[in-house]
């Protein structure tokens, strides 16, 4: 049950696009199309942004998109806005039916 | 209003016990898988435990197996986490979270505000 690997930090300027990677193994990310992404602002509860690799819940901006290739999933945020500055976590279903989160990525909007 | 409200956190000595509760409202609680996710101070999210809609299928992260027990009362729209033999590394905010209502989707679409647990002498 090792955590998925995410970059500790990414940054971008308003209007730009950024991508956050999430690397797992053939027992989690690579095996199932059950990767989800969460946004967490300081002191707040996480918010679901993407589920099942690339599906957006209603109410989530279409500036958020995601995909997966092999053992690595990716979250892309286009048209960066100040309010996108937050921590982002990926999460995957595993072969043990458990879940595993990534270590988190701090997004800074310059 | 759809919500999850956790309670029961606090300060406990190493080796002690706590029981966390999560009160659900505004949705059909018995139709959703439920989970506990924790976050140590300044650290990332860690999945702790899952329980299926009918109260079965409990799963745990290795570090809490044998010490924590997840349970639910669908009649009272409540989720619980019994935490025994607590350790300093169990310190953090514990979130109650709701699984997406779908047999073919995985993710947590509703979260509580969290309850803080501090294990310290």
User: With contact defined as beta carbons under 8 Å apart, do B38 and B46 qualify?
Assistant: yes
- Residue of A110, A84, A101 lying closest to A35 (CA atoms): A101
Confidence of residue A87 (pLDDT cuts 50, 70, 90): very high
The fraction of chain A above a pLDDT of 90, given in percent, is: 98
**pLDDT tens-digit readout, A4-44:** 999 999 999 999 999 999 999 999 999 999 999 999 999 99
Measure the CA–CA gap between B87 and B98, rounded to whole angstroms: 26
At residue A3, the pLDDT reads: 93
Distances (CA, A) of A17 to A6, A11, A65, A102: 17, 9, 11, 21
At residue A1, the pLDDT reads: 76
| Interface touch A46/B105, C-beta < 8 Å | no
To the nearest whole Å, the CA of A99 is away from the closest chain B CA by 6
**Residue ranges in chain B whose pLDDT is less than 50:** none
**pLDDT tens-digit readout, B81-103:** 999 999 999 999 999 999 998 87
Q: What is the mean pLDDT of residues A40-53?
A: 97
At residue B27, the pLDDT reads: 97
At residue B43, the pLDDT reads: 97
Convert B99-113 to b/e letters by CB count within 10 Å (16 or more is b): bbeeeeebbbbbbbe
CB of A41 within 8 Å of a chain B CB? The answer is no
To the nearest whole Å, the CA of A98 is away from the closest chain B CA by 6
Q: What is the mean pLDDT of residues A72-88?
A: 98
Identity of the residue in B59, B62, B108 whose CB atom sits nearest the CB atom of A97:
B59
* A contacts of B97 (beta carbons < 8 Å): 46
């Amino acid at each position: 049950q090792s955590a998925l690997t995410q970059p500790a930090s990414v940054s971008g300027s308003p209007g730009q696009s950024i991508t956050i990677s999430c690397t797992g193994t053939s027992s989690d990310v690579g095996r199932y199309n059950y990767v989800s992404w969460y946004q967490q602002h300081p002191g707040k509860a996480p918010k679901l942004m993407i589920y099942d690799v690339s599906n957006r819940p209603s109410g989530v901006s279409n500036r958020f998109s995601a995909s997966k290739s092999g053992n690595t999933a990716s979250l892309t945020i286009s048209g960066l806005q100040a309010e996108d500055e937050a921590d982002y976590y990926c999460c995957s279903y595993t072969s043990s039916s458990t879940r595993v989160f990534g270590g988190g990525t701090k997004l800074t909007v310059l | 209003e759809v919500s999850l409200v956790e309670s029961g956190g606090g300060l406990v000595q190493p080796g002690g016990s706590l029981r966390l509760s999560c009160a659900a409202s505004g949705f059909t609680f018995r139709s959703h898988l439920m989970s506990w996710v924790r976050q140590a101070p300044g650290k990332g999210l860690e999945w702790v435990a899952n329980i299926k809609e009918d109260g079965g299928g409990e799963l745990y992260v290795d570090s809490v197996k044998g010490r924590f027990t997840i349970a639910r009362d669908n009649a009272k729209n409540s989720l619980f986490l019994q935490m025994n033999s607590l350790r300093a590394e169990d310190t953090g905010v514990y979130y109650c979270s709701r699984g997406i209502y779908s047999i073919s989707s995985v993710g947590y679409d509703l979260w509580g505000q969290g309850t803080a647990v501090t294990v310290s002498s």
